[in-house]
Structure 1
Amino acid sequence: MYQSKIAGLGKYVPENVVNNEDLSKIMDTNDSWIQERTGIKERRHIKKGDGNTTASMGAKAANIALERANISKDDIDLIVFATLSPDYYFPGCGVQIQEILDIHTCPALDVRNQCSGFIYGLSVADQFIKTGMYKNILLIGSENHSGGLDFTTRGRSVSVIFGDGAGAVVLTRSDHNGQGILSTHLHSEGKHALELSLKGPSTNHWVPEIIEENPQEDIPYYPYMNGQFVFKNAVVRFSEVIMEGLKANGLDVKDIDMLIPHQANLRISQFIQQKFKLRDDQVYNNIQRYGNTTAASIPIALTEAWEEGKIKEGDTIVLAAFGSGFTWASAVIEW
């Protein structure tokens, strides 16, 4: 059985910076309110006319990852694209990436596991490489949240949290025994699915129906989040799935060189850090600058940590995520 490793990383975020003061001009909020609850100072939003979409941002991140991996796009055997905000209802962004990057007729797979999407995609890619079916896989997480948020006071509890951006990795077979992805761990609990959800538009409830039924009232095609309930579940599931990954590999918390959690809320990351008694240099957070970029958050953070020299060969890296579904996941990697 083969082992997979990350051979190249890349990220892309829009140039348009939206800070908390900017949001306070269009809704009843302020910098201290946002930072106290989320830790976020600013985020990036696609700006009309800048040419950015979920797929195009993913392509920009992918080009960087391919170059760093020194792997040609012609050698890619599979594309895996994780997002909750595709450019179209269908087709998915995977085939769009194939067109943008002019990749041959390899398979393209779309993953819809929201905040856990990147780790779910990583697990899928890992299995394909382990079985020998594919050698080189391009995995992308990209989100255009700003195109579907309610930027009024009514939607502030959700809208202040999310940002746009993309991250990508190239996975390939590892030549070194024990180096690469050691294990991945995936979970879901569907009974809480609607506690963090977007009900419309959908095949059950299209936009014209919504407008006709509720011309001035509650609009269900904006995201809904039961914030306190999500937070309480997140801190439990984060802890469980991190420990599951460590135990599966005969490791302990003290063996973690770098924990990269999904950037959902800085308070969640801080809670986990304190619970596991990890130092600041053992946990990487960048939600302060980018907000929650859902499927893109882990690859963006992983790329930045590597670029900043905070990840080195031989390090034990733990990735963990929790989000809508509810879904949660972790991955343990020897770099």
Structure 2
Amino acid sequence: MFHSKITGLGFYVPPNVVTNDDLSKTIDTNDAWIQERTGIQERRHIIKGEDTTTTMGVKAAEIAIERAGVAKEDIDFVVFATLSPDYYFPGPGVLVQRDLGLRTVGALDVRNQCSGFIYALSVADQYIKTGMYKNILVIGSEVHSTGLDMTTRGRSVSVIFGDGAGAAVLSREEDLTKGILSTHLHSEGVHAEELSLKAPGMGGRWVTDILADNDPDDESYYPYMNGQFVFKNAVVRFSEVINEGLIANNLTVSDIDMLIPHQANLRISQFIQGKFKLNDDQVFNNIQKYGNTTAASIPIALTEAWEQGKIKEGDTLVLAAFGSGFTWASAIIKW
């Protein structure tokens, strides 16, 4: 029996900074309106032709692999979490295997949106715990900007999301007091349509329908979010899944050294921080700079927190996420 340990972290965001004031030039909004509702000040958008979900994932992965001190030949498996793949198929996992020049290792794509990175982390953790693999590359990467309704009609969603990628290398750890202690995964599909993108899709609005209709009022190919309903569910599920992880490991809130929540909305993170009575040094947020990068948000935040010295050896770390599906998840890690 082994544990898995994060041995390398990396992230990449496009250099193109888009401020709230930039958005106000094409959308009826303003900096105060956006910050009051989301806490976001700016986000990154790709420059078309320069970055994709895969290329950003590759750039983050190269940093993580170097920091892990392993060679690319040592990577045994790839798990790639995203809702925005370069192609409808194949998924980006195989593109990363190709572009990094890895051996012909397995590549798995995870489609669990905002919870995607923790789901991917959990899958990788099980493979290492059972002894099947020794070093697994886990990536979360998203390009939202090319699929958003960048008009006033879509402002409640479009101002929230940004582009970016984060990556981690998980390696075998024989000391069972270290590494990932447990992961906890949940879903509630009855609310699937409350945060969704229905087209294109084999069971709904397909590309040929959209092209044939050429209907400017067709919103089915833009993301939809029932914001208040999502918020109400998020704060409940965040709390539940964090407590579930603590109880599973005989820990209490006082044992948390660092909570890194999915960067969905700063108001959600602040609500959870207040509910658990955590101080500012115990919670890491960077949504102010990057917006909501869905599956990339936790690995980006985790990397930044580590780079800034906010995570130290021996710390108890909690990762938690909630998002479309609905899905929610947590991971308890002894650093």
| Counterpart residue number, 1:115 | 114
Question: 1:243, 1:180 → 2: CA distance?
Answer: 19
Aligned residue identity for 2:120: G
Runs of 4+ in structure 1 off by over 4 angstroms are none
TM, length-normalised to structure 2: 0.98
Asked if 2 retains the 8 angstrom alpha-carbon contact of 1:256 and 1:318, the reply is yes
| Counterpart residue number, 1:315 | 315
| Counterpart residue number, 2:176 | 177
Shift of 1:214: 5.8
Shift of 1:175: 3.4
| Counterpart residue number, 2:22 | 22
Shift of 1:234: 0.1
Query: Where do 5+ consecutive residues of structure 1 fail to align?
Result: none
| Counterpart residue number, 1:164 | 163
TM, length-normalised to structure 1: 0.98
Local SS of the residue matching 1:184: strand
Question: 1:13, 1:41 → 2: CA distance?
Answer: 16
Shift of 1:211: 4.3
Number of matched residues?
Answer: 334
Aligned residue identity for 1:302: L
| Counterpart residue number, 1:154 | 153
Aligned residue identity for 2:138: L
Q: Is residue 2:215 matched to residue 1:203?
A: no
Asked if 2 retains the 8 angstrom alpha-carbon contact of 1:210 and 1:219, the reply is no
Aligned residue identity for 1:268: I
Local SS of the residue matching 2:332: strand
- Larger deviation, residues 215-224 vs 104-113: 215-224
Question: 2:214, 2:143 → 1: CA distance?
Answer: 26
Percent identity at matched positions?
A: 76
| Counterpart residue number, 1:264 | 264
Asked if 2 retains the 8 angstrom alpha-carbon contact of 1:317 and 1:333, the reply is yes
| Counterpart residue number, 1:66 | 65
Aligned residue identity for 1:184: T
Question: 1:98, 1:132 → 2: CA distance?
Answer: 22
Shift of 1:47: 1.1
| Counterpart residue number, 2:231 | 231
Shift of 1:206: 1.7
Aligned residue identity for 1:195: E
Question: 2:202, 2:174 → 1: CA distance?
Answer: 47
Shift of 1:213: 3.6
Shift of 1:217: 1.5
| Counterpart residue number, 1:139 | 138
| Counterpart residue number, 1:255 | 255
Local SS of the residue matching 1:183: strand
- Larger deviation, residues 174-183 vs 225-234: 174-183
- Larger deviation, residues 213-222 vs 98-107: 213-222
| Counterpart residue number, 2:98 | 99
Question: 1:223, 1:55 → 2: CA distance?
Answer: 21
Query: Where do 5+ consecutive residues of structure 2 fail to align?
Result: none
**Deviation digits for residues 148-194 of structure 1 (CA, Å, limit 9, x no counterpart):** 00000000000000000000000001132310000000000000000
Question: 2:276, 2:64 → 1: CA distance?
Answer: 32
Aligned residue identity for 1:283: V
Question: 1:175, 1:72 → 2: CA distance?
Answer: 20
Aligned residue identity for 2:12: Y
Aligned residue identity for 1:250: N
| Counterpart residue number, 1:297 | 297
Shift of 1:202: 1.2
Aligned residue identity for 2:23: L
